[in-house]
Amino acid sequence: MEALAVLCAALLHASWNGMLKHSSNQTRSLVLNRAVAASVGLLFIFFLPPLSPAAWPYLLAASAIHLVYFFSLLGAYRYGDFSQVYPVSRGLAPIFILALGLVFGFDTMLAQEIVGVILVSIGILLLVRKGFVNNTKPLAYALLTAICITGYSVSSGLGVRISQNYLVYIAYLEFISGCLFVFSALLTQGDKLQWQTLSAKSASIDFAAGLMALGGFGVALWAMSTIPIPTVAALRETSVIFAIFIAWFVLKEPLAKGRLIAALVVFSGIVCIFLT
- Confidence (pLDDT) at 145: 93
Delimit the domains of the chain by residue range.
2-274
- Provide the pLDDT for residue 129: 52
Q: In whole angstroms, give the CA distance from residue 30 to residue 13.
A: 14
Spatial distance between the Cα atoms of 102 and 78, rounded to a whole number of angstroms: 34
Predicted confidence (pLDDT) per residue in 140-168, tens digit: 898 899 999 999 999 999 999 999 888 99
pLDDT value, residue 180: 96
Long-range Cβ pairs for the range 186-193 (8 Å, 24+): 186/31, 189/27, 192/25, 192/27, 192/28, 193/25, 193/27, 193/28, 193/31
User: How would you write the pLDDT of the chain (276 residues) with one tens digit per residue?
Assistant: 676 788 788 888 888 888 898 888 998 999 999 999 999 999 999 999 999 999 999 999 999 999 999 999 999 888 887 767 877 787 788 889 988 888 887 777 778 888 887 887 787 767 665 555 566 788 889 889 999 999 999 999 999 999 988 899 999 999 999 999 999 999 988 778 888 888 999 999 999 999 999 999 999 999 998 888 888 887 787 777 776 777 777 777 776 777 778 778 877 887 787 676
pLDDT for 34: 96
Q: What's the pLDDT at 149? A: 93
Given this model, what pLDDT does residue 106 score? 77
Total-model pTM: 0.87
What region, left, alpha or beta, does residue 22 occupy, with left being phi > 0 and alpha being psi -120 to 50 degrees? alpha
Residue 262 · residue 124 · CB < 8 Å: yes
Phi, psi of 9 (to 5 degrees): -65, -35
Q: How many CB atoms lie within 10 A of CB 140?
A: 15
Between helix 26-47 and helix 56-79 the angle, nearest 10°, is: 160
Question: Measured between alpha carbons, how far is residue 117 from residues 1, 127, 156, 197, 224 in Å?
Answer: 20, 16, 20, 44, 16
